[in-house]
Structure 1
């Protein structure tokens, strides 16, 4: 009886939130570190299927940094990072596309299909190159020389920045009579036909903007945004996020996360959340409970 009452209470609490998100698009960025454990990945896939079954339209954009690093290590290629972005030469680009658009993308789409088999919910693996979903240009980054304090251009190689997202293919899958869940690898193509590796957070934010997503959820291997004392920030504004970057509190991979959240919110996404993808059912806690999870940016 107690277990039944607990389950009923949980459903009653979730109902208002299910109604709020009914038929709304929720963009989920699934981080490479959070994908490392098979059991965690299966639970994530089951939760995404549940979102679809209760009336939401989940779209998944995934990373794969650790998987790329492992493959590069096997090939004896050393990775370099600038502000959380991997410097990508031609050899690294070939490996990145093989891992992201190949093994990682198809495995995640398969897990979603397996989790949704009884209800006929199916994951569909895509790349940003498919149907020119993501058109990008070469990313430009600058750094101050510590001695002269002069801004210097850093060549990141085949790292791209989205300049246009055509959501037609994703919208077609969302609007299809069948229950499809798009799963997108962060690979883009430039106007000259060259292929670029895009930071998964950045690609996810660009797609969230193009789809006018109600929520943009970034799942990684961290509990959320931390302040200078290492404490979790539960909620912040765009101005607060910019301040964390300007003051150097945000470093490394947190910088592109915050930057892409800011850009998405500036373009009409209602709110973004950075949360820990290793936590069981974190998507459901964030969307369907009063207290949520991680750091909400509005």
Structure 2
């Protein structure tokens, strides 16, 4: 009978060997990672996810991070005495809300993520409306009843991504960290959905894959039934799930971002639960993974 310590070491070695073909496959490839949800509310969970990103960087992958921060924005608005209002799921963004969103996303969260990566020995740079903006958008309007145009304030739809600067940074072994505040053609600022921004970034840089990290368990056929979890779905199956209402609410922009990336040439996209320890590494470097992968 083997010594338990030796057995544990063998199991760890087996895990590394399982990861080897994936490390070889993704060496030098861009992977866009969207961080959001309650995983960013817990400093320990957030740091563990960034350690996974650091590992990816050290084994030769080229990560790009796009982050959200909705809950921190809502908390900051509460502190300022402002009520958060939503129109068809989008945060109504007036000038005061936009100022708070920029302060939280660019001045607080973006800086925190960059500082953590730097502390892990990874060169990184924050890209936001306060520094080098890479997202450019037009103002978004929604359609309401009787085809009436609904104003959601300073909310944008991404029109263009400065892919060149992102690719240059990746080749220089520097991790770009992107806050979802865009510029319009007049130089004004617009709040954009972080899921949508991640999809557009993945499309623009022709990433190998897009990984959506949140506090969701991937995709289930029946939301409350863990046994209905789907580790892999095709484009046709996703279309059927959306038509049948299986994919709804906050999952819709995540799935739409994945489809946008696939349509632009990304090979695979993933939706994973960042609350699972090392979920990012498990999804990318193991045979089974822990989330739902969406394929073309």
TM-score by length of 2: 0.92
**Residues 272 and 290, structure 2, Cα contact 8 Å, conserved in 1:** yes
- 1:273 corresponding residue in structure 2: 270
Alignment equivalent of 1:213, drawn from 184, 201, 207? 207
Deviations 1:30-58 (CA, angstroms, capped at 9, x unpaired): 01421111111111111111101111001
Distance 1:245 1:190 in 2: 31
Q: Is the 8 A contact 1:219 1:274 kept in 2?
A: yes
Distance 1:84 1:274 in 2: 20
Match of 1:73 among 78, 82, 91: 78
Task: Provide the C-alpha distance between the structure 2 equivalents of 1:285 and 1:84, rounded to a whole number of angstroms.
Answer: 31
Match for residue 225 of structure 1 among 202, 205, 219: 219
Query: C-alpha distance in 1, partners of 2:67/2:91?
Result: 16
Q: Using the alignment, how far apart are the partners of 1:29 and 1:272 within structure 2? A: 11
How far off its partner does 1:247 sit? 3.0
Q: Does 1:158 align with 2:154?
A: yes
Aligned to 1:170: 166
Q: Provide the residue aligned with 1:60 in structure 2.
A: 65
Hey, which bits of structure 1, 4+ residues long, moved more than 6 A?
none
Q: Where do 5+ consecutive residues of structure 1 fail to align?
A: none
Indicate which of 188, 191, 199 corresponds to 2:185. 191
Of the three residues 214, 231, 234, the one matched with 2:231 is: 234
In 2, Cα distance between equivalents of 1:293 and 1:225: 11
Cα contact 1:33–1:65 (8 A) shared by 2: no
1:28 to 9, 33, 48: 33
Secondary structure at the residue paired with 2:167? helix
Tell me whether 250-259 or 15-24 shows the greater mean CA deviation: 250-259
Whole-Å separation in 2 of the counterparts to 1:188 and 1:115: 28
Q: Deviations over 1:84-118 (max 9, x none)?
A: 321211111111011001100000111111112xx
Aligned to 1:99: 104
Give the Å deviation of 1:132.
4.5
Tell me the residue number matched to 1:43: 48
Residue 138 of structure 2 is aligned to residue 137 of structure 1: yes
CA drift of 1:131 comes to 4.3
Corresponding residue of 2:3: none
- CA RMSD across the alignment: 1.6
Q: Is the 8 A contact 1:158 1:195 kept in 2?
A: yes
Count of aligned pairs: 287
Cα distance 1:138–1:244, how it changes in 2: closer, same or farther (>3 A)?
farther
Could you say what secondary structure the match of 1:158 adopts? strand
Distance 1:80 1:39 in 2: 30
TM-score (norm 1): 0.92
In the TM superposition, residue 229 of structure 1 has moved relative to its aligned partner by: 4.6
Task: Give the distance between the partners of 2:286 and 2:88, measured in 1 at CA.
Answer: 34
